[in-house]
Structure 1
Amino acid sequence: MTRLRTTQTPSGLRLEASQVLAVAPETAWDPLVDTTRWPEWSPVVTAVEATDRRVCEGTTGRVRTPGVWLPFRVTTCSERRWTWRIGGVPSSGHRVDDLGPQRCRVAFELPLQSAGTAPICLAALERIDELLTDD
């Protein structure tokens, strides 16, 4: 079940798009931090060039979206949560919450000024669910 709600995060008040998945948290975390896998689940990222295959604080690079390459920098990365800036603008946070054996919540934390990207995030969550269910 996908869900949208406003919530307080370490980055402040955000609109959270989330979905509960029937997989271990580590399984859901992998496609979020493996830059080579972003095009598999993102509706708008078609290619990635990054300094690191697995994101960590300070990873930089660029993502190709329809018609344009945009630079990015990962600003924070901790236990199952990372945030980034795209084109110098704060963008979505990515998080996986452990909900017990073979159950987790994948969440995108959107700055309120980016609430218009919620449909893209909801589509990404569905793709992640399909990708991990097919594995």
Structure 2
Amino acid sequence: MSRHIAASAADVWGLLTDVGRWPDWGPSITGAELDSPGLQAGSTGRVRTRLGLRLPFTVTEFDAGRSWAWAVAGIRATGHLVVPEGDGCRATFTVPCWALAYLPVCAVALRRIAKITE
């Protein structure tokens, strides 16, 4: 699922990788914390969900300024990609095939990201 956002790729990337801002755009997240500063490959932390769960996560892939993916509670979760496009960028979320029901949540997240950054 992707969306063109009329904001710079750097601004969107900054929002996507600022763990403290995840609740601003992530409909299923109420909080998150990293075990060490700065999101990068191998980063670990915890994410709090709207259901009240506090789950461990690990960043499994990281290409600075472009993409990152994670596993939550040991299960592969969403991927996040930002690519410059025209007067802004294209933000894309990927989900594993077993999590297709999560796509509407991703659509809400992309709308929120656009609203925050545009």
Query: Shorter-normalised TM-score: what interval?
Result: over 0.9
Q: What is the TM-score with the length of structure 1 in the denominator?
A: 0.82
Aligned to 1:125: 110
Q: What is the TM-score with the length of structure 2 in the denominator?
A: 0.93
Once the 2 structures are TM-superposed, how far is the Cα of residue 52 of structure 1 from its aligned partner? 3.7
Q: Which runs of 5+ in 1 are unaligned?
A: 1-16
% identical equivalent positions: 37
What is the aligned length? Answer: 116
Once the 2 structures are TM-superposed, how far is the Cα of residue 53 of structure 1 from its aligned partner? 4.3
- Please tell me whether residue 88 in structure 1 is matched to residue 74 in structure 2: yes
Task: Give the distance between the partners of 2:74 and 2:108, measured in 1 at CA.
Answer: 24
Give the residue type in structure 1 aligned to 2:24. E
Contact 1:36 1:53 in 2 (8 A): no
Aligned to 2:10: 26
Q: Secondary structure at the match of 1:46?
A: strand
After superposition, the Cα gap between the structure-2 partners of 1:20 and 1:48, relative to the gap in structure 1 and judged at 3 Å, is same
Structure with higher RCO (Cα < 8 A, 6+ apart): 2
Cα-Cα RMSD? 1.1
Q: Which runs of 5+ in 2 are unaligned?
A: none
Contact 1:35 1:53 in 2 (8 A): no
